[in-house]
Chains A and B, each alone.
Chain A
Amino acid sequence: MTALRKILVPLAAILLFLALWEWLVWAKGWPDYKMASPSDLWPAFWKYRWLFLENGWQTLWRTVAGLLLAVVAGTGIGMVMGFSRLAREALYPLLVGFNAIPKATVVPIMALIFVGEHDFNTIMIAFMISFFPIAVSVSIGLSTLEPEYRDILRSLGASQLTVFWKIALPKTLPEFFGALKVSVTLAFIGTNLMEIVSPHGRGLGALFDSGKISADYPLMFAVLIALAFLGIVLYYIVVALEKVFAGWAERAPG
């Protein structure tokens, strides 16, 4: 009963939402070139199904590449900042300043500097927009490690590296995955920004842009749905990884 309810209630809410949307377009009499209705989406998707597959793959792999880069660089920066107070004091203002720049303004710059290097551009933007939460969470996780944890191992003659592997790293994993959930969404935004802005771009963003140029609302909305789908998939992959590597941080209910 409860299992059925868990599926039926959200499903009913989605159907209700789609019905309202369909009704609004129908009642206002909006044509295709003004607004899409839900019933337009599937035909649009089916018509361009090969484009969706190809561009969806483009978007996906570049997002994942940018995110992996962000994980490596973010963890590296976070480690340096977490272990060295000097590095923390030096790097923090720089990082905050860099993070404060809206990445939408960096997109045209990157697109101009590395014109034609579409894959590189896109991966870099995905990386730049998503490494900050990872760096901050890792550095905070490491710098707030209670000194007793360190002393327990150090008093036995363990090296700094052993302290890192045995204690600091696993203890930081819950914070790391919390940040990764934010970063995966951000990286996705970064990829799409570049795909939309970059001339002769590829990926779902470019498909969206071509829909915009021809005022093809059904195509644009179908892209949005495809993006939402990819975003959800990526997010739950991170959730699954978190369960495997940091499941211990979840307390049993009650």
Chain B
Amino acid sequence: MSAEIELRAITHAYRTYSGRLPVLEHLDIRMPPGSFTAFVGPSGCGKSTLTKLVAGLMRPDEGQVWLGGQMVTSPRATVGMAFQNPVLLEWRSILSNVLLPLEIVPNKLSKSRRVARARELLALVGLSEFEDKRPSELSGGMRQRASLCRALVHRPEVLILDEPFGALDAFTREDLWQTMHRLREEENFTAVLITHDLRESVFLADEIVVMSARPARIQHRMASRLPKARDLEVLYTPEAVEMLAALRRQIQIAQGRDAA
């Protein structure tokens, strides 16, 4: 079951040696169940902080995070995370890496049911032949696919993606985007994507949120005008090109390079 994500009046600052460093200011946004929202914005604007707040790893100074009608006060098993660094455990096989969350999250699944679930996801991302390999034997793109499987194996209501494709080459990244669409068709989650790549946000998201420079506020929200089912060709349609151009303008404003 996918859950609604709601950020209510979130303000957050880091305490550093040189004093308070405000990162997020008055964030108010509601992401409906099953939606896919991309957050884009200048580097260091606090986007990763946002993921930690949603995951319950940190609590905001002010405001609240609500997941599926419950206020988040601590980490919860209904969240899956994937980062730019796939952080697979080198001493485990790919299959065993994917199984890791099921060892942590309370569940009544038998061993064979767990393995079946992991295999189902690995097949979905095209890694069936590699389940017995060690992470070091896989390419960067394959490791990221495995990392996505691990993020989803416990059927989380919310999937948090913190630049998961950022370190990949352009072709691999486009492959992974398509994999992401396939996962969305088969699995049921509400996704939050942090990215620097505007094409990625346009290709994957239902809504794109542009954040301002630090302290980050919501500067602009853009609902996707693209059809639900997408292939890479969609990026060359006039709608997508228009969206990209508008987003680029917004980013320039966010960076303070454009007074408009």
1/0 contact string of A154-166 vs chain B (CB within 8 Å): 1111100010001
1/0 contact string of B83-127 vs chain A (CB within 8 Å): 101010111000000001101110000000000000000000000
Number of A-B contacts (CB under 8 A): 61
**Minimum CB–CB distance for A165 against chain B, Å:** 10
Check if A154 sits within 8 Å of B75, measured CB to CB.
Answer: yes
Query: Is A32 engaged at the interface, CB distance under 8 Å to the other chain?
Result: no
Interface centre among A158, A170, A246 (most CB of B within 10 A): A158
Residues from chain A with a CB closer than 8 A to the CB of B75 are 154-157
Query: Is B12 engaged at the interface, CB distance under 8 Å to the other chain?
Result: no
Cross-chain pairs A/B with CB under 8 angstroms, 23 sampled: A148-B83, A151-B52, A152-B87, A152-B150, A153-B104, A155-B57, A155-B160, A156-B75, A156-B79, A156-B105, A156-B154, A157-B76, A166-B104, A170-B89, A170-B91, A171-B89, A171-B90, A171-B91, A173-B91, A246-B91, A248-B90, A248-B91, A248-B134
Residues from chain B with a CB closer than 8 A to the CB of A156 are 75, 77, 79, 101, 104-105, 154
Check if A154 sits within 8 Å of B87, measured CB to CB.
Answer: no
- Chain A contributes a number of interface residues (CB within 8 A of B) equal to 22
**Minimum CB–CB distance for B39 against chain A, Å:** 18
Residues from chain B with a CB closer than 8 A to the CB of A167 are 89
Query: Is A252 engaged at the interface, CB distance under 8 Å to the other chain?
Result: yes
Instruction: Point out the residue from A148, A154, A173, A249 that lies within 8 Å of B85, measured CB to CB.
Output: A148
- Chain B contributes a number of interface residues (CB within 8 A of A) equal to 27
Q: Quick one: given A158-B104, A251-B136, are A152 and B90 in contact (CB under 8 Å)?
A: no
Interface centre among A152, A153, A154 (most CB of B within 10 A): A152
What residues of chain B have their CB less than 8 Å away from a CB belonging to chain A? Answer: 52, 55-57, 74-77, 79, 81, 83, 85, 87, 89-91, 100-101, 103-105, 134, 136-137, 150, 154, 160
Is the contact region of chain A dominated by helix, strand, or loop, or is it mixed? helix
Docked CA distance A169–B147 (Å): 21
Residues from chain B with a CB closer than 8 A to the CB of A57 are none
**Minimum CB–CB distance for A236 against chain B, Å:** 22
Check if B105 sits within 8 Å of A157, measured CB to CB.
Answer: yes
Docked CA distance A146–B86 (Å): 11
**Minimum CB–CB distance for B146 against chain A, Å:** 12
**Minimum CB–CB distance for B84 against chain A, Å:** 8
**Minimum CB–CB distance for A135 against chain B, Å:** 23
Nearest 4 CB-CB pairings of A with B = A248-B91, A155-B55, A156-B104, A148-B87
Docked CA distance A136–B66 (Å): 43
Query: Is A42 engaged at the interface, CB distance under 8 Å to the other chain?
Result: no
Q: Quick one: given A154-B75, A155-B57, A157-B77, are A166 and B85 in contact (CB under 8 Å)?
A: no
Residues from chain B with a CB closer than 8 A to the CB of A158 are 104
